[in-house]
Structures are given as C-alpha cells and as structure tokens.
Amino acid sequence: MDRLERAGLVCRTRCAQDRRSCFAALTVAGVERLAADVPDTVDAIDRWLTGLLTAEQLVTLIDALHTVRAAVHSDATAGADEA
C-alpha cells in the first residue's frame, strides 16, 4: 500500500468507526493504470489458467476456491447471492 500511495495510485482515509483501520481508494491515476493493465492481465489469466481448463475443471476450481474462501474469511459473501 505504501508504494501504491507514493506512486499516486491510491489514497488512504481513516475509518471513522475503527481508528485501527483505513480505507484505500483508487485515485484518477490509479483508475487509468488499472484500465491500461487489466486487458493484459485478463489475457494472461485466460492463456495460462482458465483457458487451459475444460468447463468441468473450471467448475471444480471455482468450487475449491469457494471452499478456501469460506475457511479463510467465512463472512466474505455475507448478503451476496451465490452464483
């Protein structure tokens, strides 16, 4: 976070409810950088991960990732509809 903030890509604001926490928000420069980098990143993920798997393997991978997420952060999807 420190390097992203120094680069002007994010800014931090303190959480009013919990002084130990802060929120990070993308700056205009951060949004521009993300928009420039996302297509290459998505292409790489497709080429080297998801594009190599069958539909059945993708379902298995997603199920496994849901299991890990639930164990690590059980309230990560609180209030969200399962897809």
**Domain spans, the chain:** 2-72
Per-residue pLDDT band for 31 (boundaries 50, 70, 90) equals very high
Q: Which H, E and C letters describe the chain, residue by residue?
A: CHHHHHCCCEEEEECCCCCCCEEEEECHHHHHHHHHHHHHHHHHHHHHCHHHCCHHHHHHHHHHHHHHHHHHCCCCCCCCCCC
Q: What is the pLDDT of residues 44-82, one digit of tens each?
A: 999 999 999 999 999 999 999 999 998 888 777 655 555
Q: What is the pLDDT of residues 6-20, one digit of tens each?
A: 999 999 988 888 888
**CATH dotted code for 2-72:** 1.10.10.10
